[in-house]
Structure 1
């Protein structure tokens, strides 16, 4: 899925500025779909507008610069649905923590334990954020489609599995790390 389709997905349910689309890509439920930078969103919006898939209007704000608000057209809705028929491609999962874990054997056990604790706290925060979103969807506080609840539930389950695995197996990762005394002894020998 590309940035163009991502922009159409957000505009399918609400009008938004490029900044708001970027915010939706980095915070909340939209952050789990496709990564998009300002440098990719604005050219995609310009091309969508050139192709007649979105329109824009200038919205003036008191004490702030005016902003350009984009709206999807009927042609844009059709193009979005067509894009959903295309092959999806593989999910992309990148994790700096997994790189760290891969080389934990080179590090002090105290550092490995600390990073595991940080990662568990991050997972807890992400799960809590999604559960809050789930609650907003269930109570109707968040405008949504029935499938939004399914998507959020899927995300919660994936994160809970990651949390459970890390919590259950953290001792083997910590045990693979060096003890401070070992590292200091090796440095002294060198």
Structure 2
């Protein structure tokens, strides 16, 4: 999904400032779809405005700079829906945890145990966030998407519970004396 489409997706749920769009794309309900930086959002919004896909209005604020609020137009909604009908790119998944797991034999069981604990905490935090938002959701597509995320995270936690010890054993059984760091020389 392009930053352009991500902006249109967020605006399809209601008017928003560039800051609010960024927050939705990093922490909100759109954070699971694609990454967008401030450096990419504002140029995309400017192009969308120039192309007639969004409108912008300025709102005065007491003691603060004027804020720009973006709204999707009918043409923007049509473009966004058209973009959704095109074949999507494969999902991307990157995991620093899996890189550590790949080298279990070299890093040893304690590093693996800590990595598993951190990964569990991270996934549990994300799962708790999704679960807390689930009750307040009245949009059926959002609810289905959130349930999909909950299922994925629940599976991850269950897999770590069921197979985490295997990875620790791999690290333990493969580590030899040659793999261990050399002891520091004794101080004289």
TM-score, structure 2 as length reference: 0.90
Instruction: Name the residue aligned to 2:51.
Output: 51
Q: Which has the bigger relative contact order, CA under 8 A and spacing at least 6? A: 1
**Cα displacement (A) at 1:168:** 0.9
1:167 paired residue among 139, 158, 161: 161
Equivalent residues in 2 for 1:35-114 (5 A)? 35-114=35-114
C-alpha contact (below 8 Å) 2:106/2:179 kept by paired residues = no
Aligned to 2:122: 122
SS of structure 1 residue aligned to 2:91: coil
Report SS of the residue matched to 2:182.
Answer: helix
For residues 2-55 of structure 1, give each alpha carbon's deviation from its aligned partner in whole angstroms, at most 9, with x where no partner exists. Answer: 111110001011101111101001113211111111111111111100100001
**Residue 186 and residue 38 in structure 1: after superposition, are their counterparts in 2 closer, same or farther (change >3 A)?**
closer
1:187 equivalent to 2:187? Answer: no
- Distance in 1 (CA, whole Å) between partners of 2:5 and 2:145 is 18
1:147-166 equivalences under 5 Å are: 147-166=141-160
How many residue pairs get aligned? The number is: 184
Q: Is the 8 A contact 1:17 1:70 kept in 2?
A: yes
Q: TM-score, normalised by structure 1?
A: 0.89
Structure 2, unaligned stretches of length 5 or more?
A: 184-188
CA distance in 2 between partners of 1:152 and 1:94 (Å): 20
Question: In structure 2, what is the Cα distance between the partners aligned to 1:102 and 1:122?
Answer: 19
CA distance in structure 1 between the partners assigned to 2:82 and 2:74 by the alignment: 12
> Residues of 2 paired with 1:95 and 1:66: CA distance?
40
Gaps in structure 1 of 5+ consecutive residues:
138-143
Question: Does 2:24 align with 1:29?
Answer: no
Calculate the aligned-residue CA RMSD, in Å.
Answer: 2.2
